[in-house]
Structure 1
Amino acid sequence: MARLRAQDGCPWDREQDLRSLRPYLTEEAFEVLDEMDRVAEGGPWRPLCEELGDLLFQIVFHARLAEELGEFSMADVSASISDKLTRRHPHVFGEKQADGTPQVLANWAKLKAQERKEKTGREGSVLDGVPTGAPSLLRAERLTEKASRIGFDWPSLQEVRAKLYEELGELDEAIASGNRDELEHELGDVLFSLANLARFIQTPAEDALRMASRRFTTRFQHIESALRAEGVPLGEATLEHMERHWQAAKAVEKGLPPPTRVPRAPLVSLRLPVGDLAAQRAFWDRVAPLLGWGSERGGPDEAIYGDGLYRLVFTPGPAAPSPATLTFGAPSAEAVERLRTSLERASPGCVLEGGGASDRLAFRDPSGLHWEYAFGAR
């Protein structure tokens, strides 16, 4: 980062300041969330690693700007969070005892208040620290969570649910009145009550809504694809027609197995000699990202790809016929189809005959090695 910001560094990086970097920080954080959602649905971890790197770059960038002004350095940022975690976990790093999570959270609130008083001379509010710019559902949930740490909370889930029912009744009254101010007020109360209910059932409202939006997008795009396949112009299908495709998309979702995780084995490398390393590298540079793999640095006579569990190392040498078909597991049948489409477009002829099942794809790389990408592979 220091090199990028130097006099002979990158003109774009040199022009940035805290104000100009704000949208990039937000964008990178949301891209990390996108990859976290994909991993939760059984997708590969490697893209999450890359997005975390992009987010970390923002932190390093901001720290560098501060260091140039003599304010603090990246080392100070690291030391600050390390010291804070030590102070706020006396039950781990000190001799204080904590009886379960509620006690830990109560102690956390007291320690934060003490820290604020030492810094500013006043304890401030328990609600301090919840960003006003955070997504509204997330902020509502965090506000109620912080208030609960000092005992301001509903005693049971049943009372939280009853409060939501009460707010829904008041929203109905506002709808009947047609008063815009009342509608906004009562709808806000309903959403706030839903966020509080989400906290009680330990299912973050922001995450639940984001995943619901993902499902809506997938199902609606299924409707669009189905209508195109039927030759029905968008906008001319009836509601009943689109509803049938919507229900079909839901049925497909229900038929998918839940994502599973198996214990990770030690890293395994497979070294394979190839006759034309340049062609092999060009092919796998396109294929590896579709598998959720990344390329790794190696010597000038190596092309290396891996996902943190396995590593393929291609080296120059006499290419022998493929001794067997090497199979990698796919997170879904859709991932298999995406790879099939990409290979047929970018490398015509590499997809092997007999590999046409929707959940299984066989292909050959430029060196003649045979590969299989399969959903449900063991």
Structure 2
Amino acid sequence: MSAAGEQLDRLVEIMARLRADCPWDREQDLRSLRPYLVEEAFEVLDEMDRVAEGGPWRPLGEELGDLLFQIVFHARLAEELGEFSMADVGRSISDKLTHRHPHVFGEKQADGTPQPLANWAKLKAEERKKKTGRESSVLDGVPTHAPSLLRAERLTEKASRIGFDWPTLQEVRAKLDEELGELDEAIVSGNRDALEHELGDVLFSLANLARFIHTPAEDALRMACRRFTTRFQHIESALRSEGVPLGEATLEHMDKHWLAAKAVEKGLPPPTRIPRSPLVALRLPVPDLAAQRAFWDRVAPLLGWSTERGGSDEARYTDGMYRLVFTQGPSAPSPATFTFGAASAEAVERLRTLLEGSSPGSVLEGSGATGRITFRDAAGLRWEYAFGDR
């Protein structure tokens, strides 16, 4: 099992224990958990915005964990009622993704060019018909309670998948001008129903324009709200420092501070985000590839890694994201130590026991009690297997 799988199993077990022994967790139901699910989703969005502005990634990982806990919580409630389990949740999305990506997991087009968008709507319609027994709409699946700008963008996106779309960006922009003209007429009329109708059409057209320029309207408006908040709070701070009570400053006075806040904002350098270059593979030459392969074939499964098919002149191992490749070649014992993260102290002890039994002398130091071991493989390379931040 991978490290991610072990930690998910651990979280599922913790949830079961909380439902059994914690009075607060035991009292919750689907209705009471709704606000927490929404709150955690928006906290994830907040951290995503901070990352987009050059902030650290780790807080985003923590918020994703909080959101994952909500999913595990809901799955536990369903499991207690005999409806479904967390395993069913994972199986459902895995089955859905493999079915909707035949260009990845199944057959490709005759010329070898995948056409995912061309098949996506058709595959989803087939799934819904199989589930409900009726023909579905292309627009099904957009939550009615989603923020309206986001929903408008998703509705137009879904309609575009079957060809119902403007051919060019210029035509989308012209439609916005048309809707603004109709809103001006409604403003002149003063008719409340007409105002709501035409303003809605303007906002819908803006959301569609946002889709065409690949700038989600919901994100753009959220960031505009953040800028407004920062600038307005600058006004409040400036007025306090001047001894002017809030509510007594003139519009001209406040506008002066607003412009000052904008000037400060523009003077800040844009966030510098160099695209991350992930470590994909670690290639290490070893003098005896057969001995190295025999060693790692035993060790890799306990690390959550699996053997990957490769040429006869290399031994390959992967955890699904990273790859460790040993090749035949001259090498000397490395002065560096490579570290694997352990899921638990027990996992550290399991590996130590295996190594002591199959390769006596390979464990250099440590144990499950210390939460880490250092070991040497058949090629003399040093490795560490450690639990926690060590």
Scaled by the length of structure 2, what TM-score is found?
A: 0.66
Aligned amino acid, residue 235 of structure 1: G
Distance change >3 Å, CA 97–CA 257, structure 1 → 2: farther
2:213 alignment partner AA: I
Give the one of 194, 201, 204 matched to 2:206.
Answer: 194
One-letter code of the match for 2:89? V
- Shifted more, 203-212 versus 253-262: the winner is 253-262
Structure 1 or 2, whichever has the larger Rg, is 2
Gaps of 5+ in 2: 1-14, 280-335, 338-368, 372-387
Counterpart of 2:161, as a letter, is R
Q: CA separation of 1:239/1:71 partners in 2, compared to 1, >3 Å: closer, same or farther?
A: same
1:24-78 deviation digits (Å, cap 9, x = unpaired): 1011101110111111111121211111111000000000011111111111111
User: What is the aligned residue count?
Assistant: 272
Residue 305 of structure 2 is matched in structure 1 by none
Structure 2 residue 170 is matched with structure 1 residue 154 = no
When residues 261 and 181 of structure 1 are mapped into structure 2, their CA distance, relative to the original with a 3 A threshold, is same
Q: Does the aligned pair in 2 maintain the 1:91–1:98 contact within 8 Å?
A: no
Indicate the residue corresponding to 2:313 in structure 1.
Answer: none
In the other structure, the counterpart of 1:217 is 229
Look up the equivalent residue of 1:151 and give its one-letter code: G
My pick for the range that moved more, 114-123 or 201-210, is 114-123
Residue by residue over 1:82-129, the C-alpha shift from the partner in whole angstroms, topping out at 9 and shown as x without a partner, is: 111100000011122399999422211010011112222222100000
The aligned amino acid for 2:17 is R
1:176 and 2:188 matched: yes
Residues in 2 aligned to 1:4 and 1:135: alpha-carbon distance in whole angstroms: 33
What residue ranges of structure 1 are gaps of 5+ in the alignment?
A: 270-297, 301-310, 314-378
Which of 33, 49, 60 is residue 48 of structure 1 equivalent to?
60
Aligned to 2:120: 108
Query: What letter corresponds to residue 5 of structure 1 in structure 2?
Result: R
The counterpart of 2:272, out of the listed 260, 266, 272, is 260
**Aligned twin of 1:281:** none
2:47 is aligned with 1:35: yes
Instruction: Please list, as runs of the form range in 1=range in 2, the aligned pairs for 1:1-378 lying within 5 A after superposition.
Output: 1-6=15-20, 9-97=21-109, 103-262=115-274, 263=276
How big is the shift at 1:264?
Answer: 7.0
Q: For 2:118 and 2:257, how far apart are their aligned partners in 1?
A: 50
In 2, Cα distance between equivalents of 1:186 and 1:226: 39
Deviation at 1:158, TM superposition (A): 0.7
Change (3 A) 1:265 1:121: closer
Counterpart amino acid of residue 3 in structure 1: R
Q: What are the superposed Cα offsets for residues 222-268 of structure 1, whole Å, 9 maximum, x if unpaired?
A: 111111111111111111111111111111111222222344799x9
Distance 1:36 1:99, change over 3 A: farther
CA distance 1:98–1:232, shift in 2 (3 Å): farther
Taking a change above 3 Å as real, the CA distance of residues 92 and 132 of structure 1, as seen in their structure-2 partners, is same
User: 1:280 maps to what in 2?
Assistant: none
Q: String of CA shifts for 1:296-334, please: whole Å, max 9, x gaps.
A: xx979xxxxxxxxxx997xxxxxxxxxxxxxxxxxxxxx
Query: Secondary structure at 1:95's aligned position in 2?
Result: coil
- Asked if 2 retains the 8 angstrom alpha-carbon contact of 1:98 and 1:104, the reply is no
For residues 254 and 215 of structure 2, what CA distance do their matches in structure 1 show?
A: 31
- Mapped to 1, the partners of 2:193 and 2:113 lie a distance apart of 40
Q: Secondary structure at the match of 1:219?
A: helix
